[in-house]
Amino acid sequence: MERREQILVAAAREFDRAGFAGASIAGIARTAGVPQGTLHFHFPTKLSMALAVIDEQNSRTFAVVSHGDGSPTAALIGASRAIAELLRTDAIVRAGIRLSLERGEFAHATASFYEQWIGGIVDVFRSAIASGELRTDLAAEQLGATVVPYFTGVQLVSEVRTGRADLFAAVETMWHVLLAGTADPRHRERLFGVVAEAFRGAD
Amino acid sequence: MERREQILVAAAREFDRAGFAGASIAGIARTAGVPQGTLHFHFPTKLSMALAVIDEQNSRTFAVVSHGDGSPTAALIGASRAIAELLRTDAIVRAGIRLSLERGEFAHATASFYEQWIGGIVDVFRSAIASGELRTDLAAEQLGATVVPYFTGVQLVSEVRTGRADLFAAVETMWHVLLAGTADPRHRERLFGVVAEAFRGAD
C-alpha cells in the first residue's frame, strides 16, 4: 500500500471510531505507523484528511452504481446492496459516511455529497418511470430526494442498534416499502424477486 | 428558568453546535452564565450532561404522540409533524437527536432510545393494521423498524442540505411513499388528506 493510502486508511479508522472532533492526529500517525511529520507532508491538517476520506468514499460508492442498459430499478437495488456491503467491510466508506453525517467545517463538502447522490439517483428514477417500471404520483426528483435520506437513516440506525448486523435485512425492508408504493403492477413481482435475490442469505 | 434547566439548555446549544467531542465544559458554563463549579454541582461530567439532554429530549418527543382513540395513522402523522416542529424550534430536542446519532460513551443510551421509539410505533402500526387503515405484507414490527430510520434520515439530510428549511416538505414526501405502499384503498384519500392538512403551508 502506498504511504498516502496507508495514512488515509488509518485516518478512516480513527474518524470511524471517534468522529471528526474526537480523532487525534497523534492517534492517526500511530495507527498508520508513520511519524507525524510524514503525515503532515501528505495532509497538512485534520480537515484535509477528512475531506480526502470523504472524497475517496464518494469514488468508491459511486463506482458501484452500474450504468448498464437493463432495469433501472434493479440497478438501484444492486447499488444499495453493494453500498451496504462496503459499509460492512470498508473503513474508508464507513468513515466517509460517518463524517458526512457530522457538521462543522466540512458541512459544505458533505452537503454537496448529498446533492450528487440525489442528482444521480433522480436520473435513474427518471429512467425507471419512463420505462414503465415505476408508476407513481411522486416526481423522480421527490423519489431521489427521499430515497437517499431513507437509506442514510436505515444504515445509521442499523449501526446504532446492531453494529450493522441487520443492515441487509433493513435495506430489504426499505425496498419493500418503496416498491409497494411505486412499482407498476406489471413489474412488481419481478422487482420483488430482484430484491429477494439481492439480499438472500445476506445477513 | 431554574438553574439546572438553564445549564441544560446551554449544554444543548453547545452539543447541537459542536457535537459531544467538540463541546467544552468551559463553553457550556459561559453560555449558561454560571461558574464551572456550579455546573459541576449539577452535572459532574460532560457525559452526565449529554445523558440528561438525551433524557429530556426523549420526554419532549414522546409527549407529542397522542394516544386518542381516533385514527392510529393520523396520530403518527401528527406526531411526525410535531417532532419536526420541535426540531426546528427546541435546542434540547435538536441536541438530543444529534447526540443520538453519535456513538461512543452514550451508545447504549441512544440505542435504547431507538428501541423505545420503534416499540412505541410498532404498537400504533399494529392498531392501524387491526383497524383496517393499513393493508400490507409487512408486519407492524417491520413498519416500525423502518419508519423510525426513515424519519431519522429525512431530518438529518434536511439539516445537512437546507438547515431544516425543507423539513416539513421532506416529511410530507416520506408519508406519501409510506401511504402509497401501505394504506388500504378505502382509507387512502382520507389519509393523504390528513398529510396535506398536517403539512399545509408549513415551510
Across the range B144-165, mean pLDDT stands at: 93
Predicted confidence at residue A79, as pLDDT, reads 94
Q: Which residues of B touch A137 (CB under 8 A)?
A: 176, 180
Domain assignment present for B73: yes
Domain assignment present for A92: yes
pLDDT in tens, A119-140: 999 999 999 999 999 999 999 9
- Provide ipTM, 2 decimals: 0.91
Contact B180 A153 (CB under 8 A): no
Domain assignment present for B126: yes
Give the least confident one: A104-113, B142-151, B184-193. A104-113
Domain assignment present for A48: no
Q: Which residues of A touch B116 (CB under 8 A)?
A: none
User: For residues A101 and A203, what is the distance between their CA atoms, to the nearest angstrom?
Assistant: 25
Which one of B22, B170, B182 has the shortest CB-CB distance to A149? Answer: B170
Across the range A158-163, mean pLDDT stands at: 89
Query: For residue A139, with 0-12 CB atoms within 10 Å meaning exposed, 13-18 middle and 19 or more buried, which class applies?
Result: middle
Kindly tell me if the per-residue pLDDT of B132 is higher than 60. Answer: yes
**What pTM did the predictor assign?**
0.92
User: For residues A101 and B93, what is the distance between their CA atoms, to the nearest angstrom?
Assistant: 17
Contact A137 B161 (CB under 8 A): no
In terms of pLDDT, which residue wins out, A85 or A113?
Answer: A85
Q: Which of residues 3-62 of B touch A (CB under 8 A)?
A: 18-22
Q: Looking at the complex, does the CB of residue B150 fall below 8 Å from at least one CB of chain A?
A: yes
| Whether the Cβ atoms of residue A171 and residue B128 lie closer than 8 Å to each other | no
Grid coordinates representing B94 are 435538536
Q: Which residues of B touch A140 (CB under 8 A)?
A: none
% residues pLDDT > 70 (chain A): 95
Q: Looking at the complex, does the CB of residue A101 fall below 8 Å from at least one CB of chain B?
A: yes
With cut-offs at 50, 70 and 90, classify the pLDDT of residue B17: confident
pLDDT in tens, A177-199: 999 999 999 999 999 999 999 99
Chain B residue with the nearest C-alpha to that of A150? B150
Across the range A60-84, mean pLDDT stands at: 87
Q: Which residues of A touch B137 (CB under 8 A)?
A: 176, 180
Across the range B105-130, mean pLDDT stands at: 87
Contact A154 B153 (CB under 8 A): yes
Domain assignment present for A152: yes
Task: Specify the 3-state DSSP secondary structure of A134.
Answer: strand
Domain assignment present for A161: yes
Angle at A22 between CA A161 and CA A159, to 5 degrees: 15
Chain B residue with the nearest C-alpha to that of A162? B111
Query: For residue A33, with 0-12 CB atoms within 10 Å meaning exposed, 13-18 middle and 19 or more buried, which class applies?
Result: exposed
Q: Looking at the complex, does the CB of residue B178 fall below 8 Å from at least one CB of chain A?
A: yes
Chain B nearest-CA distance from A2, in A, is 30
Across the range A1-6, mean pLDDT stands at: 86
User: For residues A135 and A131, what is the distance between their CA atoms, to the nearest angstrom?
Assistant: 10
CB within 8 A of A42, min separation 6: which ones? A3, A4, A7
Domain assignment present for A24: no
In terms of pLDDT, which residue wins out, B101 or A94?
Answer: A94
Across the range B157-180, mean pLDDT stands at: 94
Domain assignment present for B29: no
In terms of pLDDT, which residue wins out, B107 or A2?
Answer: A2
Predicted confidence at residue B68, as pLDDT, reads 65
Q: Which residues of B touch A151 (CB under 8 A)?
A: 153
With cut-offs at 50, 70 and 90, classify the pLDDT of residue B201: low
Range of B138's domain? 54-199
Across the range A31-56, mean pLDDT stands at: 93
Q: Structurally, how many domains does chain B consist of?
A: 1
B92: domain CATH number?
Answer: 1.10.357.10
